[in-house]
Amino acid sequence: MTSRKKGVRFIAGAGVGAAAAAALRRRWGGRRGGQVPAAPEPGSLGDTYLEHLAAAVRIPTISHEDRSLTDPAPFAEFHAFLESTYPLVHQHLSREVVAGHSLLYRWEGSDPGAAPVLLMGHMDVVGIEPGTEEDWPHPPFAGERDEEFLWGRGTLDDKCAVIAIFEAVEALLSEDFRPDVTLYVAIGDDEEIGGGQGAAAVAALLAERGVRLDFVLDEGGAVASGLLPGVTRPAALVGIGEKGYLNVEIVADGAGGHSSVPPPHTAVGTLAEAVACLEASPLPARLDSQAGFFAALAPVLGGMGGLALRHADRLGPLVEKRLGASPPGNALIRTTTAVTMISGGVKPNVLPQSARAVVNFRVMPGDSVAGVLAHVRAVVGDGVTVRQLEGGFSAEPSPLSSTESAAFRVVAEAINDVFPDAAVVPWIVMGATDARHYIPVAADVYRFSPFRLTPADMSLMHGTGERLRLSDADGALGFYRTVIEKACGTTQQW
């Protein structure tokens, strides 16, 4: 790891104290108000990236919860697209197709004793909600551009990163770059439905071969603006862990009968009371899990907010009150409760014999699936049945990766090089990513995508009107190239 043995000054740990916060202030103190780049010039590397990303968007690689509904043809087409678009990658890297349609590439390094690095993403996308097709400013699988955006499903989640990784590797190969450290590139095909067959199979294959990765870099963070009120600079959110995922089914039963002679509570009423109690009784905040986030964000948050974060160990109730006042802030500090489905009854004049609700929990590190189930049962009390929803995806929260390792410093330095106006902030990813499948085979797992996003942008990832800013192209290419150069080094040419 030639490049990574050099000293790097950035430090921001999950247990960061005053000294680390001061170091972070010194690190970023002279960098203010960086310029956001314009759209790439025609014919430039960034423009080529956008052309290739548009072509990738036009391939509708939609994954479905019911896997029998997933059409395999677009995934085979995507494989062929990668092969034809990146000839040097397919000439110099080995390629394996794993578990149907996931891909694993290996770029052999010259140092067999160095732990390899893995960059990853996913080719699958979510579908379009029926009836919303006409609401898209541009068709969701047309890959069309206007003066500001490239539109289409996958432009943010996650073909933008997949194509940027391939562009960076292809460019380095064209310049006769050869890594010291072996680089893997893994592209999953079922991330949007949990990655249980794609990424899980690739990780299992690496484990079977005895591969121990130095670090993994997946999607999950971004260069965020407007993260919290009062934040004076963009925050480059590097996920050092992610929340768990749990769906809980709550069922209330009733005797049925005619609605003219109702009991005090029908099954629907009993269920509604249980749901109301659950929403009124959130799980406790876990500020300690976000200690690194607070320490890194405090220097760029003005007023009382910055003061509270700098002393979160002593001002916990104030921090909890301020963050808990908004849905994004609340999600940062606790396991969230979201009632997402409810059903019951068959006719207006018939008492329902059963009513059912599904509640989605995003489980904070420090909590657990079993603990959440116990909390639900205690809150709703007797008279309803509580059980984990059968089938589908569930996961415990991930362990937190180090923010003091050479691997984290590689990611932080690459962000610093490409986004000098942004403060690097470790955080816990709210959603689930394929990265969690690689935890058993990696020393550290990080989650970051090199794109500038606002909260409004983030809401488009699975929604209507997903699009990528054209101005993000050059930064994306520069980031992945820098990570590869720093992480894998170079001592000789082909």
Catalytic residue set:
124, 191
Neighbouring C-beta atoms of residue 327, cutoff 10 Å: 10
Listed in sequence order, the DSSP H helices in 104-183 are 159-174
What tokens does 6 get? 């050099």
Instruction: Provide the β-strand partners of residue 213.
Output: 442
Q: Give the single-character DSSP code of 165.
A: H
Q: Residue 94: in which H helix or E strand, if any?
A: strand 94-98
- Residues 374, 376, 378, 379, Cα dihedral to 10°: 160
**Nearest CA among 79, 35, 119, 33 for reference residue 485:** 119
Listed in sequence order, the DSSP H helices in 41-182 are 45-57, 73-85, 87-92, 159-174
Rounded Cα gap, residues 57 and 55, in angstroms: 5
What tokens does 323 get? 């963050």
**Nearest CA among 281, 284, 252, 244 for reference residue 370:** 244
Strands 102-107 and 94-98: antiparallel
What's the chain's Rg over C-alpha atoms?
24
Neighbouring C-beta atoms of residue 229, cutoff 10 Å: 13
Strands 442-447 and 213-218: parallel
What tokens does 193 get? 């439905």
What tokens does 317 get? 């109730």
